[in-house]
């Protein structure tokens, strides 16, 4: 059976919105487009809901291939029981992606000759048992592998294993039909030294065919541990290119960050030329690659940080309390959530607002990210988003002194937008200017030809 788009766990080898937020955060712009995970050929996605030492981990990524070949090995800090595992719907991850994706917005200049009222002023943004079970068990003992638990959840057969040495675990997995890549032995060794267990899943073909699903659903694991980490090294075993990983961390406290690598905010709040509206995907990919290279390819990027009770501008509606629970948020109904101190004058408009989302984007290779990701929650509830602005010039007649000054200011503004775009993306500045010429020539101004001549585009 060939599956063309499967949502499967990462760690295998792991509207426009107008002034939605409170006035102090008012944006009053138009949301145009977003840079979601569809931009990348392979973008693994993980949702981590964390409060105290309790974690709910949801894993999904695009898997291409035969379902019978799918297997997943995930290091976990404790033995996981059946009641701690469930299957989740891909829609929840899609919703988180849409809500937190970097976004393109646009403003339209007002008439500089019209009276300026307060509301016009811009505001700051803030496996089934084997047939020879007894004989196989004796072999397991000789390899130092113990089956701590065995159960089925949805379309998955799941084992929880412990091991004494990596070679024995690698041999055990191969003998039991798990197609793991070469080189697993060395990468498994550190987890065994740390006494971690192994969550091992493969597809029960009979159950999958009976389910009627055309994709493998994400798996969600709940556990309690002081370790707040995400194992990514197994995902590098047979990777031939850089891997993109999007981590959505849902917290009752505030922003989450990576502690063993630097966490850097993605460049944001940049005014860019109007033609980028039709090339936003290419713009964001180029910009991300540029800053990723500038940072020596070994940092994690914060793309979004916001209270989930609101958004400004909204590229998707905030998740409902029910959707947040499906994403693993287990504290919505607990009194302990109200014990989390809030900043002064902080308003919680509805239950989702004791959930703070951090979207972290990591592009990694084995040499630049040799360690698993270690996170920490902070009390920082400052809002941040990857946000890029199109500023449309006013197109009416300009007969007043303020209008004439506005007109004279536009060439400098356009050149600054071109320079900003070139710096962010490494695109050729002259190509950018040529595209701007085509873009602005479609605008109808009684005085536009003179302006273009002044700007050097004629």
Q: How far apart are CA 194 and CA 361, in angstroms?
A: 27
Q: How far apart are CA 310 and CA 328, in angstroms?
A: 19
| 8 Å CB contact between 14 and 200 | no
pLDDT tens string 77-136: 999 999 999 999 999 999 999 999 999 999 999 899 886 554 444 444 444 344 444 444
Question: Is the model more confident about 371 or about 140?
Answer: 371
Write the burial class of residue 148 (CB in 10 Å: 0-12 exposed, 13-18 middle, 19+ buried): middle
Q: Which residues pair with 47 in a beta bridge?
A: 58, 248
Q: How far apart are CA 121 and CA 106, in angstroms?
A: 16
Q: Does 330 score more than 90 pLDDT?
A: yes
Helix (H, G, I), strand (E, B) or coil at 456: coil
Q: Which residues pair with 249 in a beta bridge?
A: 48, 358
Q: How far apart are CA 255 and CA 20, in angstroms?
A: 21
Both tokens of 261, joined, read 């690598």
Planar angle of CA 37, 42, 44, nearest 5 degrees? 70
pLDDT tens string 284-315: 999 999 999 999 999 999 999 999 888 877 88
The answer to whether the bond into 313 is cis (omega within 30° of 0) is yes
Tokens 């902070």 identify what position? 378
The whole-number average pLDDT for the span 192-216 is 89
Domain ranges of the chain: 2-117+127-389, 393-455
pLDDT tens string 19-57: 222 322 333 356 788 888 888 877 889 999 999 999 999
Q: Does 242 score more than 80 pLDDT?
A: yes
Q: Which of 287, 318, 266, 244 is nearest to 46 (CA)?
A: 244
Task: Identify the pLDDT of residue 351.
Answer: 46
For 330-366, give one letter per residue: b (16+ CB within 10 A) or e: bbeeeeebeebeeeeeeeeeebbbbbbbbbbbbbbee
Measured from the Cβ of residue 321, the count of other Cβ atoms closer than 10 Å reads 15
Strand extents, DSSP E, 37-177: 43-51, 54-66, 71-76, 85-87, 103-108, 145-153, 156-163
From the centroid of its chain, how far is CA 336? 27
Q: How far apart are CA 430 and CA 434, in angstroms?
A: 6
Tokens 């995907």 identify what position? 281
């Amino acid at each position: 059976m060939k599956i063309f788009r499967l949502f499967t766990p990462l760690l295998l080898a792991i509207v426009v919105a107008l002034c939605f937020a409170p006035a102090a955060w008012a944006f009053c712009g138009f949301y145009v487009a977003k840079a979601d995970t569809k931009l990348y050929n392979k973008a693994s996605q993980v949702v981590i809901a964390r409060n105290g030492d309790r974690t709910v981990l949801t894993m999904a990524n695009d898997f291409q291939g035969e379902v019978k070949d799918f297997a997943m090995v995930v290091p976990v800090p404790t033995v996981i029981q059946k009641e701690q595992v469930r299957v989740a719907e891909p829609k929840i991850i899609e919703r988180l992606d849409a809500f937190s994706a970097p976004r393109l917005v646009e403003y339209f200049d007002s008439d500089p000759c019209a009276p300026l009222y307060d509301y016009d002023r811009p505001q700051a943004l803030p496996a089934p048992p084997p047939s020879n079970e007894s004989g196989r068990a004796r072999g397991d003992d000789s390899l130092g592998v113990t089956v701590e638990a065995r159960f089925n959840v949805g379309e998955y057969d799941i084992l929880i294993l412990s091991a004494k040495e990596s070679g024995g675990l690698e041999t055990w997995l191969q003998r039991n039909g798990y197609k793991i890549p070469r080189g697993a032995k060395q990468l498994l060794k550190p987890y065994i030294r740390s006494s971690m267990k192994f969550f091992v899943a493969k597809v029960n073909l009979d159950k999958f065919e009976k389910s009627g699903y055309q994709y493998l659903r994400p798996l969600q694991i709940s556990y309690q541990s002081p370790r707040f980490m995400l194992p990514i090294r197994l995902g590098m075993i047979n990777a031939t290119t850089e891997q993109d990983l999007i981590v959505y961390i849902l917290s009752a406290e505030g922003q989450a960050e990576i502690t063993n690598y630097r966490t850097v905010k993605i460049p944001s709040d940049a005014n860019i030329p109007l033609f980028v509206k039709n090339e936003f995907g290419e713009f964001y990919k180029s910009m991300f690659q540029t800053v990723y290279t500038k940072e020596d390819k070994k940092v994690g990027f914060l793309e979004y940080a916001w209270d989930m009770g609101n958004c400004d501008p909204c590229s998707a509606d905030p998740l409902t309390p029910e959707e947040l629970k499906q994403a693993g948020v287990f504290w919505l109904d607990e009194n302990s959530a109200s014990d989390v101190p809030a900043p002064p004058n902080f308003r919680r408009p509805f239950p989702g607002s004791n959930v703070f989302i951090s979207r972290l984007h990591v592009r990694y290779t084995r040499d630049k990210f040799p360690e698993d990701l270690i996170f920490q929650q902070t009390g920082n509830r400052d809002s941040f988003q990857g946000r890029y602005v199109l500023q449309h010039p006013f197109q009416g007649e300009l007969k007043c002194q303020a209008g004439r000054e506005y007109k004279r200011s536009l060439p400098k503004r356009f050149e600054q937008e071109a320079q900003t775009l070139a710096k962010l993306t490494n695109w050729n500045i002259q190509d950018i200017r040529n595209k701007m010429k085509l873009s602005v020539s479609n605008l109808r101004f009684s005085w536009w030809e003179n302006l273009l001549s002044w700007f050097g585009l004629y």
